[in-house]
Structure 1
């Protein structure tokens, strides 16, 4: 294309030069034979150059049309969904684009606004993604959800930019379904916050939850309790029956603790045979009721090891015992060791004299 453009510029320059030459000859030369010859030669050369110019223009137009056909063909065959729209009205879609939105043929989308292509919930998700950008921003990346009739949700990633389409400004959108990748990512995130053995929140999850409870309690001027739960006799179970039996016991205790707490409480495995229970919006009497329930019913639930395993529980309260995460955790741990010193199978609160 650039080669032809340079040639056209050169021909225009020559034509201008010849026109100027013809004018000079007309003003300076006498009415002689050579003047006529030069004039005719210049005119013939101008005509030939004009013909050559037309041929080059035709080649450029044909080349441009061929390139557009090739580009359209690439768009049509692309496995990614591709759309072109002007002010939200679609002027082009390829086959993959039609299928992504549940249409059989691309022509079914033409001249439709996004609002008519997507259902209300999906359109709101797209609009929410678009609202963070300026209207005329050159490049945009959208992440939005497609909500289907069977309540299935698909996650879509789309990139859009300004282009010239059929000689007019438009916006090209390249979209792809990233549902598999998104679900894998969510699953990995969930696993990073779950204890793989018990499926309870792990240490990381518990600390983040406790940090959030502290902030809310401070804002609302509420108290809460934290329990540090440790299994008495767990090492002997592992040593006597093996790790498989020990893992089975930890799973049983996990299920048991979930049954003993309130709906708003959180129980998680802190590590080894240690569990943490967070009791939002709880005072000392609430903690006593739950701790006593845990201690009293343990033998009924853990039937296989009822004579060998008990629980020691340490409890600290916010804000009475501290107002930061590290202090509350440390004092609950100290209260738990106090429970062990008192013969195990009991619960103790932290106090200054501990």
Structure 2
């Protein structure tokens, strides 16, 4: 199995058959243990780390995630370490292979500080309180997105030139991406009409200096100078949004090659197959195997083998079109899903890839070649595995007939 390369600031636990088979040091420290080995020797099951009331939910999540009934998702929950300290974590689950069998990897980060700050913010807020100009929170009041009040904290968060400049000639709607305008206008109308008393959302903003930041916005209906208006309290959550996006990316990425993993490829394959079945959209798959890869590992070592995998993945990625989806299918195999591509187009792309790899200059192994099988969706295919089987058959023909070549499965 490839070595875990996740940043050590995140806690990692791997669960297999409901048993804890691995934790990293950060995870152990988070739960009050001096080392990973001490934690593993002190518990009978990962359930010992979870509040008993959450045991049924944890077991159900484990089996559903392994079966693929539940997609990887971020979630926050409270926990207690061995010394009784309560803390909150943000966790995301995804399925990996551990010692040849499926396992559940959970990546966690301690959110206690963020939760305390958020709780303090919520406790201090009063929906209809009089706005205080020197508040530390970014506050604006507007009617139909024309600001009638902003405080200095809002100006600082939005990197605006001044309060006067904002009040003079700014439409708050222009700070949002155009695709979000309809949602923002709908939310405003619901608030101003009284159908909605308050709303909380995360929005992407382009600040006055052009920087993109993410804000959690608490909207509420207030009375301002005797008429309804919308008050917006903003909180910069850019770092958290970026962290969540990074964790989501980790859940669909092969850690060695930094391309998609098999789970994400399965999702894309099923998506394209459904499009093909429903709308008649063509798609093709390109299955790639590195020739004599075992010889590379045996002769030069696994570090060179890993570097070879990375170099090939990078070359494939740099050669593909923007719409193509590349991932590691397993071991030394790669799979490319080519949406809206017929057999001729996929065959042409496969030959280009084969040529690029054959001419790839490597430091130690000097050269490497690949064998490729190509197949496209056929009207007789009843499931996505039918396409994959034909691509695998074509790949086998390419290897059997001398390697370093492309074989196409023609219906």
The verdict on a shared fold, with TM-score over 0.5 as the criterion, is yes
Structure 1 residue 129 and structure 2 residue 184: aligned? yes
Tell me how far 1:168 sits from its aligned partner: 7.5
Is structure 2 residue 138 aligned with structure 1 residue 81? Answer: yes
Give the TM-score taking structure 1 as reference length. 0.63
- Determine the structure 2 residue equivalent to 1:116: 170
Answer whether contact 2:146 2:172 (CA < 8 A) is retained.
Answer: no
Q: Distance in 2 between matches of 1:163 and 1:260?
A: 56
Larger radius of gyration: 1
Equivalent-residue separation in structure 1 for 2:376 and 2:281 (angstroms): 11
How far apart are the structure 2 equivalents of 1:342 and 1:123?
54
Alignment map for 1:33-112 (pairs within 5 Å): 75-84=132-141, 92-103=149-160, 112=167
Question: Could you tell me how far 1:270 is from its partner in structure 2?
Answer: 1.9
Alignment size in residue pairs: 278
Pick the aligned partner of 1:319 from 366, 378, 387: 378
Name whichever structure is richer in helix by fraction. Answer: 1
Q: Return the offset for 1:119.
A: 6.6
- Deviation by residue 1:149-185 (Cα, 9 ceiling, x = unmatched): 5532122221123456788765443211222222222
For residue 244 of structure 1, the aligned residue among 279, 286, 303 is 303
For 1:105 and 1:285, the matched residues in 2 are separated by 59
Aligned pairs for 1:8-23 within 5 A? none
**Which residue of structure 2 lines up, in the alignment, with residue 181 of structure 1?**
240
Q: Once the 2 structures are TM-superposed, how far is the Cα of residue 88 of structure 1 from its aligned partner? A: 5.8
Q: CA 1:79–1:236 in 2, change beyond 3 Å: closer, same or farther?
A: farther
Task: State the superposition RMSD in angstroms.
Answer: 3.7
TM-score scaled to structure 2, two decimals? 0.56
Gaps of 5+ in 2: 1-125
Tell me the distance in 2 between the aligned counterparts of 1:306 and 1:232: 14
Structure 1, unmatched stretches of 5+, are 1-67
Query: Deviation string for 1:67-91 (max 9, x for gaps)?
Result: x9xx769x44542213445676656
Whole-angstrom distance in 2 between the partners of 1:272 and 1:123: 42
Q: Is the 8 A contact 1:335 1:348 kept in 2?
A: yes
| Whole-angstrom CA distance in 1 between matches of 2:337 and 2:327 | 9
Deviations 1:168-215 (A, max 9, x none): 765443211222222222233333333333232332332333333334
Q: Report what 1:204 is aligned to.
A: 263
Deviation per residue, 1:246-299 (Å, 9 max, x gap): 111112212333455455433322222110022333333334333334445543
> Matched residues in 1 for 2:352 and 2:334: separation?
16
